[in-house]
Chains A and B, each alone.
Chain A
């Protein structure tokens, strides 16, 4: 029984599998193909496995941020603090790696060198804490997400600067005699020739995708982002969902901070400045709606690759950094334009 509903919009929605529709749905994918083809023809160095892995390593950083951002955007919010949390996490990890002075002053003081696993766990806790503050402000105090996370953007950045006095922690490799070596493993090592950062990004992406499509929490998230009131009346714990997405976003930013500072073997308080915007751009290019409820991990990952491969490609063929900014901006506007074409139509009755 498939009685056709009799209003106009139904016909419009289910109307055929046109080429335009396929192009529209898979736009991030086609854009990525176009970028790879274009730059491969412009530079012989672009299309090599080695280069793809290097570029992927760059993509991994804001890809990690973008996955956290996707969760928040699916919920109908926004998290502007991720760039700062990335920076703060790097600094925090660096501070722990330098050894923490405990107790008394001068010679009597005990300097504690936590092992790397403890550094990682404590750093993730920092990201989770900032996320928790964001989530509570948004869910319980009804502070608009834009404002709440703008506030934490400044606070987190400020704390990072205070901790280092504006300087950079340079020696993160630890000391064998203190038993805290191995921090650079994250950024330098490779498994089967694939950088660890890329692997972490891939694992996190797959885990998030499974969570979104197969778990009750994923369904709650899509529902509360699509219509919070309806979700609430259907028994979805909307406030809990809201807080959790900000915590997860903060944790993602901390992971990105750890990977980045490990890659650089240094932790500067200004790392990750404006990365939140790149992350938002990746999510939007990936087809997610800023109004919430629509978006996928695959799209976001593709979006991150589009931005990363585009800007690295421009570097490789020697285009000025100023032009890169222009291109990135144009891609974002185009993506939003296509989003509104895709989601704008069926809304009207």
Chain B
């Protein structure tokens, strides 16, 4: 191999297509990975990003087309083969064994054998060397479950480096990291670039990805729609190419007056898992028809605040009032009946029952509404489900389709629809836009704006600043369990981010 220099193409996909039965996930994509640079793949859910990554890392084989590594066409039959050629993938869900130490994780499956079994001392020495290289202070003997998420990510990267990865594919690496941890990760990425590692980066967090990328590739409906080096692009360019038109997440609904206070949180404190308070004596009042956005970093206490208001978590102090009535002692079901509902953050874990159909998920929170005596009424349920599918525009084969057959955005609409069916007066949504594409995001926000106009009080959280400046009338920034600032909808991104304790990374 002749000497390569920064910017040379090391890995390329040529006319790569992939079909699953009648569905074409990729329609002839060309894609270059450059030596020592970061190439970011942008695209909505279902645009084909994951499929392309799986093909590049040997998880799946393309239906047609070629993969060219260092100028030579190669066939990647498995992840092991891809790894042997220096291509490693770090999945969104980390594949570490939490009960084992950092050292054991890094050498999992390819332990160094000494005269008497595994040579732990040598492994430990190598891990220390890797960590020194990454300038990370992680003890090789620490158990992975005791590490913070950001550190676990570093362990994954160290593992990839330990097999001499030249090309590192990172799928949504920052989705669970705090701003500080993202900074550390980006520093590591820059160091890796300097060492000649090429990186393929995937993220829904467009602003963040822009700060680290050197090249941008945009996929839409399985085809590449745009390609440009960093210098020539901006946020608007990416969004335009992702969705095909100028996109806007909406503006606060106007032209009506807010009603009486619907939700009042008074002096609410919630204990955190780690000890201490996740929410510290917080006050919040939301009026009928008002949309409030809560912005904050991971761990700012947003989820705890909402789960406590919904009745999942117990409050240490303070109380929650709904239309002036104290609901602090009510169960979740009673609060739903009273009109206070929560759309949880993690829809797979907390939102959906995967074993049930679309229709049964939609009707789950309102079973009492179609129960006559001791029996449920199929006809009444059908009406509720059909209306709901129409109202929240769920794209599905029908109420009996398995919930897993829907895209992320449509699943999210089902979770929201389920709570709207109960006819709430206050709806809290924890990161309603997480993991859904920009088209679905806009639809969700439009739906909420419509409902607010009809008198629904809406509170939602987000960790993307651009989503604060969309439909919210009022923006609240949470930091360490307290409100650090309140803004009207006319504020700027910089002001919001500064109040949350993060810097706009230039």
Contact = CB atoms under 8 A, between A and B. Distances in A.
Interface in B30-82: 46
Interface in B397-418: 397-398, 401-402, 404-407, 410, 418
Interface of A: 2-15, 214-216, 219-220, 222-223, 225-227, 229-237, 289, 292-294, 346-347, 349
B397 A2 contact: yes
Contact of B332 (A7, A15, A219, A235): A235
Instruction: Choose among B310, B312, B344, B350 the residue with the greatest number of A CB atoms under 10 Å from its CB.
Output: B350
Contact of B23 (A7, A216, A294): A7
A230 B21 contact: no
Contact of A347 (B21, B374, B395, B404): B404
Interface in B68-112: none
Nearest to A223: B353
A31 B365 CA distance: 38
A15 B21 contact: yes
Given A13-B404, A227-B352, A6 B23 contact: yes
Given A6-B46, A11-B23, A13-B405, A234 B355 contact: no
B367 to A, nearest CB: 5
Interface string B306-318: 0000101000000
Contacts of B351: 230, 233
B20 A230 contact: no
Given A233-B344, A235-B422, 7 more contacts: A9-B404, A14-B401, A215-B376, A216-B374, A227-B349, A227-B354, A230-B351
A10 B350 contact: no
Nearest to B405: A10
5 contacts: A7-B405, A214-B375, A215-B371, A227-B354, A346-B405
Contacts of A220: 367
Nearest to A227: B353
Nearest to B337: A235
A197 to B, nearest CB: 27
Given A11-B20, A223-B356, A6 B407 contact: yes
Contacts of B23: 6-8, 10-11
Contact of A232 (B22, B312, B395): B312
A231 to B, nearest CB: 6
Instruction: Choose among A3, A215, A220 the residue with the greatest number of B CB atoms under 10 Å from its CB.
Output: A215
Given A5-B396, A226-B353, A235 B376 contact: no
Given A15-B21, A219-B360, A294 B404 contact: no
| Closest 6 A/B residue pairs (Cβ) | A8-B20, A293-B355, A235-B333, A226-B355, A226-B353, A10-B405
A198 to B, nearest CB: 26
Contacts of A8: 20-21, 23, 25
B342 interface: yes
Contacts of B396: 5
Contacts of B195: none
B364 A225 contact: no
A312 to B, nearest CB: 34
A7 to B, nearest CB: 6
A227 B350 CA distance: 8
A339 B175 CA distance: 35
B371 to A, nearest CB: 5
B17 interface: no
Nearest to A213: B376
Interface in B325-342: 331-333, 336-337, 342
Contacts of B374: 215-216
Contacts, number: 128
A233 B354 contact: no
Contacts of A15: 21
B368 interface: yes
Nearest to B333: A235
Contacts of A289: 355
A5 B332 contact: no
A229 B349 contact: yes
Nearest to B22: A11
A5 B405 contact: yes
Contact of B21 (A3, A11, A225): A11
Contacts of A294: 355
A225 B336 contact: no
Contacts of B364: 219, 223, 230-231, 234, 236
Nearest to B351: A230
Given A216-B371, A222-B355, A4 B332 contact: no
A180 to B, nearest CB: 35
B332 A233 contact: yes
Instruction: Choose among B355, B398, B406 the residue with the greatest number of A CB atoms under 10 Å from its CB.
Output: B355
Nearest to B18: A8
B271 to A, nearest CB: 18
A226 B364 CA distance: 12
A3 B407 CA distance: 12
A232 B398 CA distance: 25
B356 A237 contact: no
Contacts of B422: 235
A18 to B, nearest CB: 13
A236 B418 CA distance: 13
Contacts of A349: 404
B46 A7 contact: yes
B410 A5 contact: yes
A223 B336 CA distance: 17
Contacts of A229: 349-350
Given A8-B25, A230-B352, A14 B397 contact: yes
Contacts of B405: 5, 7, 9-10, 13-14, 346
Contacts of B46: 6-7
B395 A230 contact: no
Nearest to B20: A8
A13 B402 contact: yes
A3 B332 contact: no
A222 B396 CA distance: 22
Instruction: Choose among A6, A14, A215 the residue with the greatest number of B CB atoms under 10 Å from its CB.
Output: A6
Interface in B169-224: none
A236 B333 contact: yes
Contact of B353 (A3, A231, A346): A231
Given A216-B376, A229-B350, A346 B21 contact: no
Interface string B357-369: 0001000110110
A245 B458 CA distance: 37
